[in-house]
Structure formats: structure tokens, C-alpha cells
Structure 1
Amino acid sequence: MSVGLLIIFTAIVVGDYLYIDGGEISHMEDGTMPNRTNPSHAISHTLSIPLGVSWDNQTVDFNKIPKPSSVPILNNQAAWRDPSGSGFYIRGGVTPYHAQPLPSDMWKFTTDGSGGGFWAKEKRVSSVALSRNIRTTHGAWT
């Protein structure tokens, strides 16, 4: 039996942590999806890894930050750091399982300085301005 694995996510460094958000994990066994109705598993949390300590694949200690149900689970969203250094924003992306796209809102993850934090919808952006934009995915961003 051969097994293939695909992981889709977004990663960004804020402070002394690498934050990994979004996506889904899917796999194939002998070239076919084991479950055709939901061939992947959505990831409903944000991970962080400390960058100020040494680790390897065997010793890495992930912080697991649950996402409230109001925060969308997305693949291939754009992410950028808040200029204040307090967190990062995400926008765009696609939903797992080809689900109905969500409103094109912008979300912010505010870090706590210890590898944790919380998600909230960004309210400083005009919803009228966002509604005029098409949801993007798989695009280049810096």
C-alpha cells in the first residue's frame, strides 16, 4: 500500500513564534481517496512553534490554539503581520470540502507573546470596501 499526504496551510512569523494556520490534511491510499465524501480533515486550530529554543522533528513542542466556531477554517489564505507586532491578519482563501465560500471578511489573530492568542473579526475595515472585492486564493502575497 502506498500512502500520499497533502497538507495545506499558511505560516507566518510574529515575534519569537512561527504561527501555522488553516487548512486541511488529506491522504491517498494506493492512488485513491479512502473517503470520497470528505477526503480530507479540516484543521480547526492554529499552531505555534517557539523559535527561541532548539528543537527537531522529534522534540518540537507545538502550541495548539483552538479556533472559535465563528472563525472560518480556510486554505490558501493570505496572511500578513500587523505593523504593531501584535499579531497577523488573514483574508481570502477557500473552505475545505468545497463548501460554500464565506463572506470575504478580514480576521486578526492577536498574539499573547507566549505562543498563544485569540481570533477576532477585524472591524476597522469597511465591509462595503470588502464586499466589492472578490475572494482570492492561491495568489502570491508578501
Structure 2
Amino acid sequence: MAFASFDGRRGAQLTAEINVVPLIDVMLVLLVIFIVTAPLLTHAVKLDLPRASSSANEPPPQRIEFAIDASGQRFWNGEPVSREAAAARLAAEGRREPKPELQLRADHRVRYGDVAQTLADAAAAGLTRIGFVSEPEGR
């Protein structure tokens, strides 16, 4: 930085140094502008995204199709079985994990006692997922 002197011959000369004070003022103004405008430049869209879990997918439980015809004959996945054999198979299936789903299909003319016995055998075996299969009207 140059200082002025009282020498008359040198007083009329220009100094060749750069004045940095206005440059600092401009930089501070630009800094404030960028600080103020930076949050306004983010265009975020508010979304409610689904949560993902990292748990393993369990296979769907096995399905047992159990049918009782009008004469009271029992069928295990299409194979005829007696009540005792069906109770033994239900007990074996009740010990498995995951427990299978029992789908009970009974003829509309079957005695209620046969259906109740099958439900009691399934409950004694520990099977809790029991579905009743029916056909829609009009068929």
C-alpha cells in the first residue's frame, strides 16, 4: 500500500497497487446472496414412501384338501381314507411348521356329525387354519 508524501514532485504520480477493499465487499455480498438463495433451489417432493423390511419371506403354508361326500366317505387330497387314518394324518400335519391350512369341502347332504368329527380331529391335532370350500349359487 502506498502512502502519500509531502514531496511535491512525487505527489502527482499514480500508485500502481490494487485496492482490495471493494473486492472483499463484493465477495461478502455474493456470499450472503448464495447463503440466502441456496435453500430455495432445492425442489423436494414430499412423498410417503413404503417401508421395507429385511425379514426373510416365509413360504406359504401347505394346503390340505379334505372332502366328505354324501355317504360320509372322507378324502385326503382326493385319496379315500378312514376317519382313524385321517385323524392320524391330521395329527402328523399338526406337528409340522408352518402348520398347513385345512380346506374342508363337504357335500350339502352329508351329516353334520361327520363334519363335526373332522373339525374335532383337526382341532385336537392343533390345526387352526380351517377353510370351508363351497360353490357359488347358480352352478
TM-score range, shorter chain: under 0.3
Q: Which has the higher helix share?
A: 2
Q: Which has the higher strand share?
A: 1
Alignment TM-score, normalising by the size of structure 2:
0.19
Alignment TM-score, normalising by the size of structure 1:
0.18
